[in-house]
Amino acid sequence: MQLQSEDKSIDMYLAVAQAPAVLAGPAARLDWLEQQLDSHRQAGFDLLVLPELFACGYNIGDDVKLLAEPADGPIARQISALARRFNLAIHYGFAERDGDNLYNAAQAFGPDGMRLARHRKLILPPGFESDYFSIGRHIDVFDYCGLRIATLICYDAEFPELARQAALRGADIILVPTALAQQWGWVANQMMPTRGFENGVFLAYANHAGTENGLSYLGASFIAAPDGEILARAGATAEVITAKIAKSRVKDAQNRLPYHRDVGKIQLDDAPPSADTL
């Protein structure tokens, strides 16, 4: 897909939709998404990123088992149709059912309605997720608008090892759909921009806004450049933020701070301690 922006130095026009957590059920969530796409139609986004478990809601308890669907299920088909209708890629979180297993997953459909990528959350944090979901085992990188794009879901990205693995697989952008609660402001404001900076990649962080069944979300979604610059930052309420992405900034940042090259120079004589000894 060619960039819709007239600026030829820009490779992609990226949007993050910070969705209202109060939306009850997939129908309301898809209606909200369609409204956002329609109201921003003239902006010409190339890619819209939505939060973790956007399709069904995050803090919904046992209902996650009822609302989980296969990767090509009814919600997926509706989002694919929206991607075709509005001529952009849509990346969203959903509860994936695969046989007897459920996964906290995210996938993207391109402007032709075809799936670009799918990711299953690699590390499940303490709490309800471990009760419902199985773990994923892969980091996949997909190509879009001349860029290489990887996904890490929420807690995944809090591990520097996983962000580094995504970058070493060639990612120019890491998309992070999340469900970050209000008390974790340091994660959104300091830790996540650092993940992009220490790898020289763009990072897009898509959170919910408001309260869902007693869980209050931070909001604070953002798009950060490879040099750590915050290109756009949301507040505490629902909104859509945007930024223009230039792949050249990735090369510039990685040349300036060659962490990926120099990490191979580390030589330690002692074996690392195990977690049990810390």
pLDDT in tens, 84-123: 999 999 999 999 999 999 999 999 999 999 999 999 999 9
Active site residue 96: no
Task: Report the alpha-carbon distance of residue 103 to residue 140 in Å, rounded.
Answer: 16
> Going from the N-terminus, what domains does the chain have, and what CATH number goes with each?
12-258 (3.60.110.10)
pLDDT in tens, 224-260: 999 999 999 999 999 999 999 999 999 999 999 999 9
> CA 128, 193, 91, 30: dihedral to nearest 10 degrees?
60
Active site residue 158: no
Asked if residue 61 has pLDDT above 60, the reply is yes
Task: Report the alpha-carbon distance of residue 86 to residue 269 in Å, rounded.
Answer: 56
Q: Are 201 and 176 in contact (CB under 8 A)?
A: no
- Sign of the Cα pseudo-torsion (40, 43, 47, 52, in order): negative
Task: Report the alpha-carbon distance of residue 205 to residue 214 in Å, rounded.
Answer: 22
What is the model's pLDDT at position 5? Answer: 45
What is the model's pLDDT at position 158? Answer: 98
Joined together, the tokens standing for residue 171 give 């990612």
Q: Count CB-CB contacts under 10 A for residue 160.
A: 13
Which listed residue (121, 158, 212, 247) is catalytic? 121
Active site residue 154: yes
Contacts of residue 58, Cβ cutoff 8 Å, sequence gap at least 6: 21, 51, 52, 179, 208, 212, 215
Task: Report the alpha-carbon distance of residue 17 to residue 181 in Å, rounded.
Answer: 17
What is the model's pLDDT at position 4? Answer: 46
Mean pLDDT of the chain: 94
Asked if residue 1 has pLDDT above 50, the reply is no
pLDDT in tens, 179-232: 999 999 999 999 999 999 999 999 999 999 999 999 999 999 999 999 999 999
Which listed residue (69, 96, 129, 154) is catalytic? 154
DSSP string, 203-220: EEEE-EEEEETTEEEE--
Sorting pLDDT into bands at 50, 70 and 90, what band is 277? low
What is the model's pLDDT at position 2? Answer: 36
